[in-house]
Chain A
Amino acid sequence: EPEVTQTPSHQVTQMGQEVILRCVPISNHLYFYWYRQILGQKVEFLVSFYNNEISEKSEIFDDQFSVERPDGSNFTLKIRSTKLEDSAMYFCASSEILGQGVNSPLHFGNGTRLTVT
């Protein structure tokens, strides 16, 4: 069964450094997403991406964050100047279009655990 893949599985970085989290969505999916989950808290929406542009973003997704689809398969999340509070599990997800008013489920990758020291 097709799956979303994320690399790396664990990233440790120092405060103030930039990190890039990578994702390969399911190949026929057209919507891509980033979510994060701070330890012990709920899964939070960061950003959605469709047709090579951001379609929606949350208040968490400030100027520190950016997303890019550099080629036909990869989808990346860049975090500039990381802070301690950015430590979390970051999940990439993708979905297809089912039709008007019917939303396809999101399929999640295994996540990247980001630790900022």
Chain B
Amino acid sequence: QKEVEQNSGPLSVPEGAIASLNCTYSDRVSQSFFWYRQYSGKSPELIMSIYSNGDKEDGRFTAQLNKASQYVSLLIRDSQPSDSATYLCAVIPLEYGNKLVFGAGTILRVKS
């Protein structure tokens, strides 16, 4: 069973629209959740971390966590062409672990 699952995409949205990226995870005791952005040939870059149920906003980004449904999402408002990248959902699957497990990523394309 895959630990972190994401739709591979590509997800195409017009410039200025809201992009919605989704992720599910298998380990119910997971406590720490992260979204990373990865441009082609580059390293993962942290966008958001979220630890509690609900929404967390940072600028144009909102992370949403629902532990009961084992679901975490990322909303990008006012999408820009520079947001075009692969978005990686990552989870630390043990309550007191530190190993970060990545999903395969969703390719986002923002069309101008």
Indicate whether A107 sits within 8 Å of B46 (C-beta atoms), given known contacts A102-B31, A102-B51.
Answer: yes
Q: Which residue of A lies closest to B30 (CB)?
A: A103
For B44, the chain A residues whose CB sits under 8 A away are 43, 91, 108
Chain B binding site: helix, strand, loop or mixed by DSSP? loop
Residue-wise interface mask of A (38-76) relative to B, using a CB-CB cutoff of 8 A (1 in contact, 0 not)? 000111110010100001100000000000000000000
Q: Which of A103, A106, A108, A111 has the most CB of B within 10 A?
A: A103
Chain A binding site: helix, strand, loop or mixed by DSSP? strand
Count A-B pairs with CB separation below 8 Å.
57
Bound-state Cα–Cα, A109 to B43, Å: 7
What is the interface size of chain A, counting residues whose CB is below 8 A from a CB of the partner?
26
**Cβ A101 vs Cβ B31 within 8 A:** yes
For B96, the chain A residues whose CB sits under 8 A away are 100-101
**Cβ B95 vs Cβ A101 within 8 A:** yes
Residue-wise interface mask of A (97-117) relative to B, using a CB-CB cutoff of 8 A (1 in contact, 0 not)? 000111101111111000000
Residues of B within 8 A of A (CB): 31-32, 34, 38, 41-46, 49, 51, 88, 90, 92, 95-105
